[in-house]
Every structure is written in structure tokens, then in C-alpha cells.
């Protein structure tokens, strides 16, 4: 059984053919279009999957946004160029003629990462620090998606009541400060207009403002992890997303978490599946759904 797995993020769209042993046979990636209109996402998805889907028997989507009954609803539409609603499963079924399922990207990644946890880990949280900040919660060995698909959306937990406005409508969310978009939005002077990747490159050269912007993200994430420990009693937090996986980021988060009282500390690690955690989690989710 070959799965066409897709990962729809605010910055990139990835697709892969995944076999029944969860091995990636072929993988493609293109940028996410920034447009309020669904046609742009439709065209990009079509370009992405057309070379792949003839070899698949079904599809599985990990996507940014709240995913319920195959439909994407943005909590922060700004992450998708203003797009707030998209019927993922309906569109991909019509395009490919295949049956398929969808779930949130960070929930999917949590599922993939949990497969490799030591037996003693029953409660785990996955956090992606990427275009936004997303999360997936495993409680007592099971992924929790919530009755409305919202469980784990920890990027919208309050970090600073005097912080920047988040695209979700709240003020001072973790996402508005710690995410790629949040880091870039706070840049001033010569860093103004750079994306987070370029700001990381500046920090590696020792640029003081870039170093401070990344430290602010890592400190915000550490505080979020302390809150999540209090809420879930998780034995492990796994960090993914291009920012979460960037050189030196996890060790900064570890540094700030170590400043919290012991009860709020938990073991941190990087996503073992790196940038493929969402794709593989979607394929796993589909396995459960179709067997």
C-alpha cells in the first residue's frame, strides 16, 4: 500500500510517496503560495502531487490549521496569506480520485515522533517552531486531537499580555513572539525585512540584535514548555520545525527551561524525523484509518 503523504505549512508544501513500512520512496517540496483565494493553494497542490499520485492508493494530509472532517480552518489566517478556510480532503479526492484523510500538522508530527519514545514515556508533547508555533499532545499513549481539533494549539497560549498582536486575534500569543513570523516581525534597522532563516544566519555571525531575537524566541518557548508540563505532566517534549531544528536553538531552550523550578522541567529532544515528521505522521494516521 503506497500513501501519498502531504505536509501543508505556512512556508512550504511537501509531498511524498510512503510505503507500508513508512519509508519515503520519493519526496517533493514547493513554497506555499500566500493568497487569500483558495485557487492559489489548489494550483500549488496540483503541481506538487500530479507527478506522485498515480502511484498511490490513498492520500494522507498533515496541514497547518484546525482540521475537522477534512476541512482546514485557520486559527491564524495570516500564516496562509489570509486564507481562512479550505476543503482539503474534498479537493484532493477530486484531484487524485483517491480516498484520504487529514489532520493538523503538529498533531501528525506528534504521532510520528511518539512511535520512537521509550516505553516509559506515556505523555509527550510535540512543538513545531516554524512559520507559526504548533503543538500535538500524546496523553497516556494516545494522540489527543480534541472534539473540535483544537487540542495542542499551544502557539496561542499567552506569553506576554503586552506583546504583539497575533493573527488569531489575541494579544501576546507565543506564536506572535517565538515563531518565524514573530522573529521577523520584531526585527528593526538593518534586519528589517529579513526572514527568520536570514536572521539565524546573522546571529551565527554574531549580530547582536539577531542573537537577541532568537534568545527571545527560545525563552518564550521554554516558558511555554513549563506551562505545558504543568498542564500535561509530559515526560518528554519533542521540538521540530525549521526554527526548532536550527543549530543551537534547542540548547538555548534547554538553558532557559533550566531556570524554571524543577517541577516544570521535562526532557527535551529534537524531532527524530526532522522535516518529515508531519509527512510520516499523516501516513501513520491513514494506516490507522484504513486498516
Contact residues toward ligand BMX (CB under 6 A) are 9-10, 64-66, 74-76, 79-80, 104-106, 128, 130-134, 153, 155, 175
Q: Does 246 interact with ligand ADP (rule: CB under 6 A)? A: yes
Q: Which of 220, 242, 252, 266 binds ligand ADP (CB under 6 A)?
A: 242
- 286 contacts: CB under 8 Å, gap ≥ 6: 3, 5, 58, 59, 60, 100, 101
User: H or E stretch including 120?
Assistant: none
Closest CA to 239 of 263, 259, 256: 256
Query: Could you give the CA distance from residue 182 to residue 163 in angstroms, rounded to a whole number?
Result: 11
> Which residue lies nearer to ligand ADP by CB, 80 or 157?
80
Query: Which of Zn ion, ligand BMX, ligand ADP, none interacts with 62 (beta carbon under 5 to 8 A by kind)?
Result: none
- Other Cβ atoms less than 10 A from the Cβ of 158: the count is 14
Among positions 130, 151, 217, 266, the unique one binding ligand ADP when judged by CB under 6 A: 130
Judged by CB under 6 A, does residue 28 bind ligand ADP? Answer: no
Interaction of residue 202 with ligand ADP, rule CB under 6 A: no
* 100 vs 136 by CB, closer to ligand BMX: 136
From the list ligand ADP, Zn ion, ligand BMX, none, pick the one residue 134 interacts with, judged by a Cβ distance below 5 to 8 Å according to partner type. ligand BMX
DSSP 3-state of 76: coil
Residue 76 to residue 88: CA distance in whole angstroms: 17
Tell me how far apart the alpha carbons of residues 179 and 16 are, in angstroms, rounded to a whole number: 25
Q: Return residues touching ligand ADP (CB under 6 A).
A: 9-12, 32, 130-131, 180, 195-197, 200, 241-243, 246
Amino acid at each position: 500500500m503506497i500513501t501519498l503523504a502531504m505536509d501543508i505549512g505556512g512556508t512550504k508544501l511537501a509531498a511524498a510517496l510512503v510505503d507500508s513500512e513508512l519509508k519515503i520512496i520519493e519526496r517533493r517540496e514547493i513554497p506555499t503560495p500566500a493568497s487569500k483565494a483558495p485557487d492559489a493553494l489548489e494550483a500549488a497542490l496540483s503541481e506538487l502531487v500530479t507527478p506522485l499520485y498515480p502511484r498511490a492508493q490513498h492520500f494522507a494530509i498533515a496541514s497547518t490549521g484546525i482540521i475537522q472532517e477534512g476541512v482546514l480552518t485557520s486559527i491564524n489566517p495570516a500564516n496562509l496569506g489570509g486564507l481562512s478556510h479550505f476543503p482539503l480532503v474534498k479537493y484532493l479526492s477530486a484531484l487524485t480520485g483517491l480516498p484520504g484523510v487529514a489532520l493538523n500538522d503538529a498533531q501528525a508530527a506528534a504521532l510520528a515522533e511518539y512511535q520512537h519514545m521509550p516505553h516509559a514515556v506515556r505523555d509527550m508533547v510535540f512543538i513545531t517552531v516554524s512559520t507559526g508555533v504548533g503543538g500535538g499532545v500524546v496523553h497516556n499513549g494516545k494522540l489527543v486531537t480534541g472534539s473540535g481539533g483544537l487540542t495542542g494549539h499551544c502557539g496561542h497560549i499567552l506569553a506576554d499580555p503586552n506583546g504583539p498582536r497575533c493573527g488569531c486575534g489575541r494579544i501576546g500569543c507565543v506564536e506572535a513572539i517565538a515563531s518565524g513570523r514573530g522573529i521577523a516581525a520584531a526585527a528593526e534597522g538593518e534586519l528589517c525585512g529579513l526572514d527568520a532563516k536570514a536572521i539565524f544566519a546573522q546571529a551565527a555571525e554574531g549580530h547582536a540584535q539577531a542573537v537577541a531575537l532568537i534568545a527571545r524566541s527560545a525563552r518564550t518557548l521554554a516558558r511555554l514548555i513549563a506551562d505545558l508540563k504543568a498542564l500535561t505532566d509530559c515526560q518528554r517534549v519533542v521540538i521540530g520545525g525549521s526554527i526548532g531544528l536550527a543549530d543551537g536553538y534547542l540548547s538555548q531552550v534547554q538553558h532557559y527551561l533550566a531556570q524554571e523550578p524543577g517541577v516544570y522541567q521535562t526532557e527535551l529532544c529534537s524531532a527524530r524525523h526532522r522535516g518529515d515528521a508531519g509527512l510520516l505522521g499523516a501516513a501513520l494516521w491513514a494506516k490507522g484509518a484504513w486498516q
